């Protein structure tokens, strides 16, 4: 399988109005399949959230990761995504999340590590343009002098690769640590998060509004790889709404690793 290049594809941007957590989970599955089936061109999707949630990774234990009482108390929904990786705490406006959906040939022959770095090279470029001395930190983080900026996750299916990333814009660390049970083993890595009231590497290092950072990131992607504005098709929205209801809102999936 020959490797393809970013510029081989007519990249589309999807940046829809705020949507609920389960629908976001479903859109990742549907759009990956649509790109795999070549019904949709490769796509950059920027997420907007309509409600707070915890998103746990495909292989994480629900009760090990989430304090269910604290989540209920704060009105925070818990959803599970289709990719591995760690839990993230989302309140509208506190993070920047995006997904890339591409044919697997874009990363063919690459190991996991190389593929992660390759898919996010444009973001490192964008962050440098915003004045942040950011770098890719194996296995799957984007780091900066002020701490971890983002975590990435990938999964592959039907010949397509899904790469999605959540970046910390301005997170309420106290609430996050109430809702997420961060394991003893992991706590040493997160010492900076527990000491600070806010985890805000993007806000504090740019002084920019979240929307302005997103705009600069989109502009960087467009410059490097080409990008035309697109939208979700009615068929895709219908598939995703059905999948959100039948899978991503249900205990059978959310507690698949109890």
Partner 1 sequence: MGLYEPPSAVQNHSRHGVTKMHGEYKMPGGKLIVADLDVRNGNLTGVRISGDFFLEPDSALTMIDVALEGLPAAAGSKHHAAVIAAALGRHVRMFGVSPEAIAVAVQRALETRP
- Contact residues toward partner 1 (CB under 8 A) are 57-64, 67-69, 71-72, 77-78, 82-87, 112-113, 138-140, 153-157, 183-186, 249, 251, 254-255, 257-258
60 vs 97, beta carbon nearer partner 1: 60
Q: How far is CA 213 from the centre of its chain?
A: 16
| Shortest CB 32 distance to partner 1, Å | 13
| Shortest CB 70 distance to partner 1, Å | 10
Buried b (16+ CB within 10 A) or exposed e, 231-258: ebeeebbebbbebbeebbbeeebbeeee
40 vs 81, beta carbon nearer partner 1: 81
What distances in angstroms separate CA 192 from CA 145, 169, 180, 199, one per listed residue?
A: 12, 16, 15, 9
| CA distance linking residue 21 with residue 77, whole number of Å | 8
| Shortest CB 234 distance to partner 1, Å | 28
CB atoms within 10 A of CB 163: 23
207 vs 258, beta carbon nearer partner 1: 258
Q: Among all chains, which residue has been given the structure tokens 């309140």?
A: 91
| CA distance linking residue 81 with residue 134, whole number of Å | 26
186 vs 235, beta carbon nearer partner 1: 186
| Shortest CB 66 distance to partner 1, Å | 8
| Shortest CB 75 distance to partner 1, Å | 8
Nearest to 149 by CA among 168, 127, 165: 168
Categorise residue 9: left if φ over 0, alpha if ψ from -120 to 50, beta otherwise. beta
Q: Answer yes or no: are the C-beta atoms of 144 and 127 closer than 8 Å.
A: yes
| Shortest CB 39 distance to partner 1, Å | 22
């Amino acid at each position: 399988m020959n490797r393809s290049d970013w510029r081989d594809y007519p990249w589309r941007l999807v940046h829809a109005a705020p949507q609920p957590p389960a629908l976001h989970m479903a859109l990742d599955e549907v759009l990956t399949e649509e790109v795999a089936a070549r019904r949709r061109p490769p796509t950059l999707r920027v997420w907007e959230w309509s409600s707070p949630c915890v998103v746990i990774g495909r292989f994480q234990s629900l009760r090990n990761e989430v304090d269910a009482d604290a989540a209920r108390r704060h009105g925070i929904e818990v959803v599970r995504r289709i990719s591995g990786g760690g839990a993230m705490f989302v309140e509208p406006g506190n993070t920047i999340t995006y997904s890339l959906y591409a044919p697997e040939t874009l990363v063919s022959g690459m190991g996991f590590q190389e593929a992660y770095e390759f898919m996010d090279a444009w973001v490192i470029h964008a962050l440098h343009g915003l004045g942040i001395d950011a770098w890719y930190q194996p296995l799957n983080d984007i780091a900066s002098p002020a701490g971890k900026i983002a975590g990435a996750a990938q999964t592959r299916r039907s010949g397509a690769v899904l790469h999605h990333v959540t970046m910390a814009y301005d997170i309420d660390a106290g609430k996050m640590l109430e809702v997420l049970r961060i394991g003893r083993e992991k706590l040493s890595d997160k010492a900076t998060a527990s000491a600070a009231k806010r985890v805000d590497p993007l806000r504090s290092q740019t002084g920019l509004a979240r929307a302005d950072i997103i705009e600069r990131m989109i502009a960087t992607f467009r410059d490097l790889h080409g990008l035309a504005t697109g939208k979700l098709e009615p068929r895709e929205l219908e598939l995703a709404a059905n999948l959100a209801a039948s899978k991503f809102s249900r205990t059978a999936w959310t507690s698949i690793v109890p």
